[in-house]
Amino acid sequence: MSVVLALGGAALAQCTRGPTTSEVTVPDFVAVYYQSFKSDSSNDVVEFFGGVCVTAVGGEWTVMAERVTVTGLTGELGLQAPNPSLYLGPWVITAGSLEATLEELVLTEATVSGPDVDGGARRLSVDLTTSEITMSDLHLNSVAFAVRGTVAVLRGESLTLVDAGVSTCIGMETPPYEIVGLRADVDLGARSVVLEGGALQLAGANLPLQESITISEESLAAFSLPVKVQNVPDPGRQGKPGSGLGVRLVGLPVGEDVSLDVGATGVDTEHDTGLVALLRTNTSIPGSRAPDPATTVTSTFGLEAGLPYLDVDLERPLTPWLSLSLGAFSGAAPGQDARHEAMAQLTASTPVSVINGRIGAEVFSAATALAPSLDPSLTSIMGTRIGGAVFATARTGTTAIGTLSLETRA
Amino acid sequence: MRRLVHHVTLALLLTGCLVTAGAQAPFAALSINSAGPQVMDITTGITTLPQGGSVVDRDTGVSFDAAHIRYLDGSFIEATGVTMDGAFGSLSADLVRIEMADSLLTASGNLRLHRDGLVVTATDLRYYALSNIAVFDGGVTGSEPSFSAERVLLDVISGDVLLVGGYSFTSGMFTLTSPTEGGTLELRLQEVDGVLVYDAATDVSPDLLRRFSAHF
């Protein structure tokens, strides 16, 4: 933002008549401030050069260039400038060329800077009547995300893109992932994007998404943005699966209580690439009779870093005070050794009104085997465990500072 | 003595006179025709035409009518209420003085020059007949084209003009204004589709600068 303001200041400094700066006005069109001027009646043009500033009569826009040619003096008035800088509200646009009429400004090979955003477009036109900016082949980076589109229209702070792409990988020529859509509506003020007809493009795959996706700073803060980028260290360069840079889209809804994580690990050049495709379920199975409690099953299974991965937990209340948990795990977190484990646990607890809490006990039995990630079939450590614990929780009533809770476990 | 003066006056009434300052120089051979009596002060040699007359310079083609004329043979002519034609165009002024030795014409008072493609008004004019340069000073304004300047130089042969100092110049839809510290603007006469127009340039051509250099 400070750069934009500095440039704006420079533009204003040159856009006044001064000791060595002359002025020319074209009624109802522009005022031009320049060092040198030459008219050519036979070709119906005038040329300003040596540092030129052109401002609209109403001050809506300003163009600065080394050389500006005004054409069509006796016909249709026009303006041409190579390598201009256009100052339009909060936007600073530099370009390879500018052509203007009384109705519009057209710039080619433009770079765009605005409030907290910058980017470029192959062609950019400004409707001088509506101040609407139409761009083709636009790419724009903000502090939150990068967007692109084959056609883009900016009205105030509202940017609409056609054949749009959005990624949080900002400033990368080819982002490792991109959410593409038929259309994107970007609110530059709120820094949010609504993408319609979207699909995830990742590692050559094209995965359809929800009909409408909203990406905003709030969704970033709440981690609801479905993209996670992780960098798993690889000490000693052992080349463990999942090491290095990984990108995954998490929580893609594929059904009721079923979501999908997809992505890849080791997408950087120094590590092996592994596919991530994990289905996550969270199922509640009702009891066979009406008062019977439901059984809860959570599971994650699929491929993690290209290797099989399974994590299942089942919890079933046996009585109001006794519940059974069964769990099974087989797989490896990125960059870690593989672990295979099964566990059963019984938990008994009962409410105690005196302490406004519960007391209880639990016992469990588990069998665990560890295997090197580079050779999961080779078990390195194996063992069983049996354990137990007692616990108590107590809560106060509501106080001025809230509710206090205490839990002890042994 | 009164009788002698009377005779001189009568003689000048009957014939035009030739005022010379040297062969071949502009304004060197002016022919003066009196519209009334001529009075010659024999102590100064200055002749006065109180009812005016007409003056013709055979070399430059300058000719003018004036309401009142004074001249000194070989030195100067001074006229008031002048309407003049010459290479520079048509000039009207309250006062015109021609210095024959310097081939210099000066004019002032309600000054107005009119020529093809150019109309100028100013406080003062100096026309250097040897170099064919006219210099206008003092609130110079022009129409056809419209301009104003502190000083304006005119090449009466080519029609090229130089605006000097603080200036403004209007051409079609443009109004050019000089930098605050002043500058120069070349107006080069062109004929486009049979119409005389001026092309303007802030970077004055070396050729024009050379021609005007003695009169900045």
DSSP string for residues in A211-235: SEEEEEHHHHHTT-SSEEEEEE--G
Measured CA to CA, the distance from residue B1 to residue A280 in angstroms comes to 139
Mean pLDDT for the stretch of residues A303-315: 91
> DSSP 3-state helix, strand, coil percentages of chain B (rounded to 5)?
10, 60, 30
Residues A154 and A127 in one domain: no
Pairs of residues, one from chain A and one from chain B, whose beta carbons lie less than 8 Å apart: 65
Q: If interface means Cβ-Cβ distance under 8 Å, which residues of chain A face chain B?
A: 17-27, 29, 34-42, 46, 73-74, 77
**Percent of the residues in chain A that have a pLDDT greater than 90, as a whole number:** 28
Q: Which of A79, A109, A131 is the last residue of a domain?
A: A131
Q: Given a cut of 70, is residue A7 above it in pLDDT? A: no
Instruction: Kindly list the distances between the CA atom of residue B96 and the CA atoms of A376, B65, B162, in Å, as whole numbers in the listed order.
Output: 115, 11, 23
Residues of chain B contacting A37 with CB distance shorter than 8 Å: 176, 185, 200-202
> Searching chain B, which residue's CA lies closest to the CA of residue A36?
B202
How close is the nearest chain A Cα to the Cα of B72, in Å? 47
Q: Given a cut of 80, is residue A2 above it in pLDDT? A: no
How many domains in chain A? Answer: 2
Which of B17-31, B161-175, B184-198 has the weakest average pLDDT? Answer: B17-31
Q: Specify the pLDDT at position B76.
A: 93
Of B175, B181, B200, the CB nearest to A25: B175
Interchain proximity B201–A25, CB inside 8 Å: no
Measured CA to CA, the distance from residue A189 to residue A169 in angstroms comes to 20
List of residues 6+ apart from A75 with CB closer than 8 A: A44
Mean pLDDT for the stretch of residues A283-307: 85
Interchain proximity B179–A26, CB inside 8 Å: no
Residue B8's H or E segment, with its range, is helix B2-14
Domain assignment of residue A182, given as a range: 137-224
Mean pLDDT for the stretch of residues A216-222: 57
Q: Given a cut of 80, is residue A111 above it in pLDDT? A: yes
A386 token code pair: 């049996």
Q: Specify the pLDDT at position B14.
A: 37
- Highest mean pLDDT among A254-258, B175-179, B203-207 belongs to B203-207
What pLDDT digit, counting tens, does each position of A123-156 carry? 999 998 888 999 999 998 887 778 899 999 999 8
The pLDDT confidence band at residue B51, using thresholds 50, 70 and 90, is very high
Q: Specify the pLDDT at position A10.
A: 40
Measured CA to CA, the distance from residue A85 to residue A88 in angstroms comes to 10
Q: Given a cut of 90, is residue A265 above it in pLDDT? A: no
Residues A107 and A179 in one domain: no
Residues A127 and A149 in one domain: no
Residues A108 and A2 in one domain: yes
Interchain proximity A41–B190, CB inside 8 Å: yes
Sign, CA torsion B97/B103/B104/B110: positive
Residues of chain A contacting B175 with CB distance shorter than 8 Å: 24-25
Tell me if A253 is assigned to some domain: no
Mean pLDDT for the stretch of residues A283-299: 83
Q: Given a cut of 60, is residue B215 above it in pLDDT? A: yes
Measured CA to CA, the distance from residue A104 to residue A133 in angstroms comes to 10
Comparing A202 with B211, which gets the higher pLDDT?
Answer: B211
Interior/surface letters B138-175, b for 16+ CB within 10 angstroms, e for the rest: eebebeebebbbbbbbbbbeebbbbbbebbbbbbeebb
Residues A23 and A127 in one domain: yes
3-state secondary structure of A42: helix
Residues of chain B contacting A27 with CB distance shorter than 8 Å: 173
Residues of chain B contacting A17 with CB distance shorter than 8 Å: 177, 179-180
Q: What ipTM describes this predicted complex?
A: 0.74
Which of A159-163, A386-390, B7-11 has the weakest average pLDDT? Answer: B7-11
A155 token code pair: 């009205």
The pTM (predicted TM-score) of the whole model is 0.63
Residues A95 and A154 in one domain: no
List of residues 6+ apart from A6 with CB closer than 8 A: none
Q: Which of A224, A253, A276 is the last residue of a domain?
A: A224
- Highest mean pLDDT among A9-18, A100-109, B58-67, B190-199 belongs to A100-109
> Searching chain A, which residue's CA lies closest to the CA of residue B176?
A24
- Highest mean pLDDT among A241-250, A256-265, A395-404, B79-88 belongs to B79-88
Residues A90 and A209 in one domain: no
Q: Specify the pLDDT at position B20.
A: 58
**CA nearest to A58, candidates A85, A89, A35:** A89
Tell me if A36 is assigned to some domain: yes
Interchain proximity B172–A22, CB inside 8 Å: no
> Searching chain A, which residue's CA lies closest to the CA of residue B183?
A20
Measured CA to CA, the distance from residue A47 to residue A74 in angstroms comes to 15
Residues A94 and A25 in one domain: yes
Residues of chain B contacting A20 with CB distance shorter than 8 Å: 179, 181
Q: Given a cut of 90, is residue A59 above it in pLDDT? A: no
Interchain proximity A17–B173, CB inside 8 Å: no
Interchain proximity B176–A23, CB inside 8 Å: yes
Interchain proximity A25–B172, CB inside 8 Å: no
How close is the nearest chain A Cα to the Cα of B146, in Å? 14
Comparing B162 with A246, which gets the higher pLDDT?
Answer: B162
Q: Where are the domains of chain B?
A: 116-216
Interchain proximity A17–B177, CB inside 8 Å: yes
The pLDDT confidence band at residue B24, using thresholds 50, 70 and 90, is low
Q: Specify the pLDDT at position A4.
A: 34
Q: Given a cut of 50, is residue A11 above it in pLDDT? A: no
The mean pLDDT value of chain A amounts to 83
A334 token code pair: 């990125």
Q: Specify the pLDDT at position A181.
A: 84
What's A53's domain CATH number?
A: 2.60.450.10
> Searching chain A, which residue's CA lies closest to the CA of residue B174?
A26
Residues A68 and A144 in one domain: no
Mean pLDDT for the stretch of residues A96-117: 92
Tell me if A366 is assigned to some domain: no
Q: In a mutagenesis test of the A interface, which of B173, B198, B204 is the best target, namely the one with the most A β-carbons within 10 Å?
A: B173
Interchain proximity B183–A22, CB inside 8 Å: yes
Residues of chain A contacting B190 with CB distance shorter than 8 Å: 41-42
Q: Which of A224, A245, A263 is the last residue of a domain?
A: A224
One of 3.30.390, 2.60.450, 2.40.50, 2.60.40 is the CATH number of B116-216, namely 2.60.450
How close is the nearest chain A Cα to the Cα of B192, in Å? 6
Measured CA to CA, the distance from residue A236 to residue A258 in angstroms comes to 38
Interchain proximity B177–A26, CB inside 8 Å: no
